[in-house]
Amino acid sequence: MTVNGKVVAITGASSGIGAATARHLASLGAAVVLGARRTDRLERLVAEIEAAGGKAAAIRVDVTRPEDLHSLVKSAVERFGRLDVLVGNAGVSRISPITELEVEGWSAMVEVNVKGILHGIAAALPVFRGQGSGHLVTVVSTSGLKIVPTQAVYAGTKNAVHTLLEALRQESTDGVLRTTSISPGYVRTELIDNAVDDPAVREQARQHMADLGIDPLAVARAIAFAIDQPDDVEIGDLTIRPTRQG
């Protein structure tokens, strides 16, 4: 498998899809560099991976800060000699009708979901160009594929990222850069915990997620599949959702 020996940096790595991806890629022989704000969780995850014989490092990353993404990339290069893949996974969601004017929530989604990805591209692209290869794997969402009420701004941020990556792909057909968009449906993660203010609605959403959502490992396997392709093969888009999701 070409995953073996690759160096992969992951944002939003302290839980959910990010943590599952770190564990899975490390089990396949990748060296993983984990970024998130909750460093206590990162440290436990690094210890877990190393105890299982894997290679891992961690650094505090707030994707709204460009310098944190540069530090993540720099850490990967200094610790493991290169960076082969950046998995842009950090994301936030606020669910509400536009008419409720959740301006603060809108700003947070734009800062994390859109600008956070751009900050990662800005940090990783010079390294990829310098070493002659690199892969951007970005976690988007099926919310951008099926537009529904209360998720307009969230879906907008995800569609914006998909558009950015497609344009970057067309600008990068010299064989150096690969881009992949992963669109998960309902996944059992903590994303919903801060998406809704109303406790009753939040608990209902959690129950729905628990009943319908798939394990984050399923998304981690999809990410590994995209990374595992030969250098001349690019998996542009992957959608992964529960079979019962409408």
Enzyme catalytic residues: 154
Distance CA 11, CA 36 (A): 6
Three-state helix/strand/coil letters over 157-211: HHHHHHHHHHHHHHHCCCCCEEEEEEEECCECCCHHHHCCCCHHHHHHHHHHHHH
Taking a C-beta distance cutoff of 8 angstroms, is the pair 44, 92 a contact? no
Taking a C-beta distance cutoff of 8 angstroms, is the pair 140, 183 a contact? yes
Residue 125: both structure tokens together: 């692209």
Taking a C-beta distance cutoff of 8 angstroms, is the pair 114, 155 a contact? no
Query: How many separate helices (H) and strands (E) can be counted in the chain?
Result: 8, 7
Angle between helices 39-51 and 16-27 (to 10 degrees): 20
Taking a C-beta distance cutoff of 8 angstroms, is the pair 161, 138 a contact? yes
Strand, coil or helix: what is 61?
A: coil
DSSP letter, residue 65: S
